[in-house]
């Protein structure tokens, strides 16, 4: 299907992938909120590690950790959002990057000591489904059509 200007319109599979990546971004932002609520747990974990930090140092270390991980999560969500728009416009390189990022996202759930949260699992599941939708035959045809039109 094409527009009046001759541009190919994304099929339902690409639109579903786009929506899935948007929802995954919402999960990433939600995980930032969950992280903010874990300050006391971070302090307790640092204290249990046997560190010789003072209480003020423990509080500061937990706060720095929270801001660092929240910043990383926000940057990842923004990059994923940008790539989702590129996928919707038919950029195959964005589809490949989102596939790689999603594999890393799913893999990160199995690293660590069960520290993944419900938003992390939800975001990974939705992103994985979006990746599958982006590689279905109708999506492949769309990406090929967009590439050929350039």
38-47, 98-107, 111-120: least confident range: 111-120
Q: Smallest Cα–Cα separation from 31: which of 116, 129, 130? A: 116
Residue 5 within any structural domain of the chain: no
Q: Is the pTM of this model over 0.85?
A: no
Q: Residue 1 domain-assigned?
A: no
**Within-domain flag for 4:** no
Q: DSSP code of 1?
A: -
Mean pLDDT, rounded, of the chain: 88
Instruction: Confirm whether 125 is domain-assigned.
Output: yes
Number of domains composing the chain: 1
Cα distance between residue 121 and residue 139, in whole Å: 25
Provide the token pair at 131: 């990746």
Asked whether residue 110 is assigned to any structural domain, the reply reads yes
Classify residue 145: in a domain, yes or no.
Answer: yes
Judge whether 24 lies within some domain: yes
C-alpha–C-alpha distance, residues 75 and 81, integer Å? 10
Sign of CA dihedral 7, 12, 16, 19: positive
**Domain range spanning residue 106?**
12-149
**In which element (H, E) is residue 16 found?**
helix 12-36
Short-list 102, 101, 88, CA closest to 139: 88
pLDDT, one tens digit per residue, over 57-114 is 888 988 898 888 888 888 989 999 999 999 999 999 999 999 999 999 899 888 865 5
Quick check: is 65 in a domain?
yes
């Amino acid at each position: 299907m094409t527009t009046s200007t001759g541009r190919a319109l994304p099929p339902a599979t690409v639109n579903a992938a786009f929506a899935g990546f948007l929802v995954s971004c919402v999960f990433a932002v939600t995980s930032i909120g969950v992280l903010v609520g874990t300050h006391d747990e971070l302090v307790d974990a640092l204290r249990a590690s046997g560190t010789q930090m003072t209480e003020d140092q423990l509080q500061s270390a937990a706060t720095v950790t929270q801001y660092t991980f929240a910043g990383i999560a926000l940057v990842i969500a923004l990059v994923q959002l940008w790539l989702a728009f590129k996928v919707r416009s038919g950029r195959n390189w964005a589809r490949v990057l989102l596939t790689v990022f999603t594999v890393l996202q799913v893999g990160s759930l199995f690293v660590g000591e069960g520290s993944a949260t419900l938003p992390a699992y939800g975001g990974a599941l939705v992103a994985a489904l979006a990746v599958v939708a982006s590689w279905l035959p109708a999506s492949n045809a769309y990406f090929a059509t967009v590439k050929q039109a350039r």
